[in-house]
Chain A
């Protein structure tokens, strides 16, 4: 089955840039989506189709995907960005299934 690997944690100072990676075999050939989840809340879509932002998501959030790594970048980090972040793909190579990354806790120092 397809596996997505994320770093467990990323720490960043306010105003700096956070980069969260999502590793998978030839992930660049798939569409990657990213979700933000704050404690006690449902996940929120922040990036879809590798780099598109839903309406209402700040331009500070951006995404890229190439080779074996997809990356979510949060520029000018704010305290309110502290949350868990998950990458996700749809694996239709063998059986059809959704796959989430292991999740990354972003801490704003």
Chain B
């Protein structure tokens, strides 16, 4: 069965950095695009970033462009999100999500349980 396990969350000061990881299993990781989606406390879902199955294309939400970097290591079945210049408004639960079987329409068929990032002094 598909499993996505995020790690790396925690408390960080404004302006600081953090790297999230997402360990994938139960499917051929190197064949699927992957996303990061976040949810601020008590708020709705916000898409953050996407990376193509081979890492050749990456897309970002305007709110994180230039500060966050999505990457993957297909040899380790792991997705990453490098977060720099963190702001209070980046405080959220971060989910990794697997792309559905129809890549042209981009939906999320499996989600991890999320990791909490808190940006606070």
Contacts and interface: CB of A to CB of B under 8 A. Distances in A.
Given A48-B100, A98-B50, A100-B47, A42 B95 contact: yes
Interface of B: 35, 37, 44-47, 50, 59-62, 95, 100, 102, 105-114
Per DSSP, are chain B's interface residues mostly helix, strand or loop, or mixed? strand
Interface in A25-51: 31, 33, 35, 37, 41-45, 48-49
Given A86-B44, A86-B45, A100-B47, A45 B109 contact: yes
Contact of B107 (A44, A88, A96, A102): A88
Interface string A82-109: 0010101010000111111111000000
B95 A97 contact: no
Interface of A: 1, 31, 33, 35, 37, 41-45, 48-49, 54, 84, 86, 88, 90, 95-103
B92 to A, nearest CB: 13
Contacts of B105: 31, 33, 48-49, 90
* Those 8 A-B pairs whose CB atoms lie nearest each other, nearest first: A98-B47, A90-B106, A31-B105, A33-B107, A42-B111, A96-B59, A103-B44, A100-B45
Contacts of A100: 44-47
A99 B45 CA distance: 9
A101 B44 CA distance: 8
A96 B50 contact: yes
A20 to B, nearest CB: 14
Nearest to A98: B47
20 contacts: A31-B107, A33-B105, A33-B108, A42-B111, A43-B111, A44-B111, A48-B105, A49-B105, A88-B45, A88-B108, A95-B59, A97-B60, A98-B35, A98-B37, A98-B47, A98-B50, A98-B61, A100-B46, A100-B47, A103-B44
